[in-house]
Amino acid sequence: MLDIKFIRDNTDKVHRAVNARNDTAPIDEILSLDIQRRQNLRRLEELRRERKRLTKGKDEASRHAGRILRGQIKSLEDCIRGTDEKLNDLLLRVPNIPQDCVPEGKSEDDNITIRSHGRPREFDFTPLPHWELGEKLNIIDFEAGARISGSRFYVLKGAGATLQRALIDFMLDLHTRENGYIETYLPIMVRREALVGSSNLPKFADNLYRDVEEDFWFIPTAEVALTNIHRDQILPPGSLPLYYVAHTPCFRREKMSAGKDVRGIKRGHQFEKVEMYKFTTPETSNAELEKMVNDAEEVCRRLEIPYRVKELCTADISFASTRTYDIEMWAPGCNEWLEVSSCSNCGDFQARRANIRYRNQPDSKAEYVHTLNGSGLALPRVLISVIENYQCADGTIEIPPILESYIGAGFIS
């Protein structure tokens, strides 16, 4: 969330940012509500001051005057509560300001490829898409998924399930042992406030699953739970940066993407992801973003799969982000680059929502931390890439060398 004071003092900048994102947040309405709120607040404070004074005198005249004041104070409080609620709801729907270095753009077509690694493999046969390979090898069962849960669900069997587990283990080992992240096991059902903190609510409610009876919500990404690890805390001097990594299932309704990517395992309602998350000081967050992207890229490099890194333009960075890099892995069977990671610096946007601060010195003022999140990586798409890149002419799949020790075999057949 943006500070209302910031919107007040930088109205033009906020307008430009909202436009650059193709967003429609009602900044002018917010500003007029803010003026209204402050006017009423001043009046209310005067009335309360008067009440305080009257309370000292216990005679009947004071009581009578107090009774009148009580009514005025109450109705003014109700009025302010109303504008506060409206204002707060609108503020929660204003997107973050992109950094000045983020390229201007109108759509994802304006994202910029900033580097790539590896070359797509040359095949001397026509590479098959993973859904065909998966069914032939009996390691992905779409029918069973549909039987159990309907469309956009699948079952991984045998070596398919083992391969996914090996990938998860490999990624967690890399991030914890070499990249310095703390492994976490997280709740995947969370309370509403957690999703407000991570900025999935109120704006993106229609992409979430929830249990109505208990008001538990299923996380669309581990980022939600990780953001809230330090909710309402002031982190002591010297504790930053903090690196966390988690493997969790993720749940998304994909209402907005109805009819898109319906084949294969690219876009399901439930999928596994390894997520990296950092809490940093404002001074270091951009440098930490570069490191985080590199940590994600390292997964691709060790799997020896071609990938490219894109810097997202203003229209395509996510709601909470000030700056985002996507990593796309090559998938020769479906013949496309698959988004396997998105790494974002959210600045103090989530920290303000979740009230996460730190102190630089024991006696210095508490400041909001910066938060960063990045997939490291999203499993189904990596699975697709591995299967399609490592397929052989006879329909078997080679195991990437880095995973052999995790799987105990060199082939899936």
Binding residue for RNA, selected from 13, 38, 136, 147, defined by CB under 7 A: 38
Known catalytic residue at 381: yes
Smallest gap from Cβ 33 to RNA, in A, equals: 12
DSSP annotation of 229: G
Smallest gap from Cβ 294 to RNA, in A, equals: 35
- The whole-angstrom separation of Cα 245 and Cα 200 is 20
Report the site for RNA in 222-241 (rule: CB under 7 A).
none
For RNA, which stretch binds (CB under 7 A), given 68-76, 99-107, 221-229, 334-342?
Answer: 68-76
Smallest gap from Cβ 370 to RNA, in A, equals: 17
Q: Which is nearer to RNA, 191 or 210 (CB)?
A: 191
Q: Which two tokens stand for residue 121?
A: 């493999």
**In one letter, which amino acid is 308?**
R
Q: Which residue has the tokens 């803010």?
A: 34
Helices (H), 10-150: 11-20, 27-56, 60-91, 130-136, 142-149
Q: CB under 8 Å to 32, separation ≥6 — which residues?
A: none
Q: Which is nearer to RNA, 260 or 365 (CB)?
A: 365
Q: Which residue has the tokens 């929830």?
A: 210
Q: Would you call 12 helix, strand, or coil by DSSP?
A: helix
Confirm or reject binding of residue 5 to RNA (CB under 7 A): yes
Q: Which two tokens stand for residue 200?
A: 């999935």
Q: CB under 8 Å to 1, separation ≥6 — which residues?
A: 91, 92, 94, 199, 349, 352, 353
As separate numbers, helices (DSSP H) first and strands (DSSP E) second, the chain gives 13, 18
Smallest gap from Cβ 3 to RNA, in A, equals: 7
Smallest gap from Cβ 194 to RNA, in A, equals: 11
Binding residue for RNA, selected from 67, 136, 147, 263, defined by CB under 7 A: 67
- The whole-angstrom separation of Cα 201 and Cα 225 is 13
Options 267, 301, 302, 359, the catalytic residue: 267
Give the number of C-alpha atoms closer than 13 A to the C-alpha of residue 393, restricted to the C-beta side. Answer: 4
Q: Which is nearer to RNA, 66 or 202 (CB)?
A: 66
Site string for RNA, 167-196 (x = CB under 7 A): ------------------------x-----
Contact 81, 17 (CB under 8 A): no
Smallest gap from Cβ 45 to RNA, in A, equals: 4
Known catalytic residue at 302: no
**How crowded is residue 398: how many other Cβ atoms within 10 Å of its Cβ?**
14
Report the site for RNA in 73-92 (rule: CB under 7 A).
74, 81
Q: Identify any residues that bridge with 272 across adjacent strands, giving them in sequence order.
A: 249
Known catalytic residue at 342: yes
Known catalytic residue at 67: no
Q: Would you call 59 helix, strand, or coil by DSSP?
A: coil
Report the site for RNA in 45-64 (rule: CB under 7 A).
45-46, 48-49, 51-52, 54-55, 58, 62-63
Known catalytic residue at 62: no
Q: Which is nearer to RNA, 63 or 263 (CB)?
A: 63
Checking phi first, is residue 388 left (phi over 0); if not, alpha (psi -120 to 50) or beta?
alpha
Binding residue for RNA, selected from 12, 24, 42, 361, defined by CB under 7 A: 42
Smallest gap from Cβ 99 to RNA, in A, equals: 23
- The whole-angstrom separation of Cα 186 and Cα 224 is 10
- The whole-angstrom separation of Cα 175 and Cα 246 is 10
Confirm or reject binding of residue 366 to RNA (CB under 7 A): yes
Options 198, 253, 381, 385, the catalytic residue: 381
Footprint on this chain of RNA (rule: CB under 7 A):
4-5, 38, 41-42, 44-46, 48-49, 51-52, 54-55, 58, 62-63, 66-67, 69-70, 74, 81, 191, 362-363, 365-366
Q: Supply the residues annotated as catalytic.
A: 252, 267, 339, 342, 381
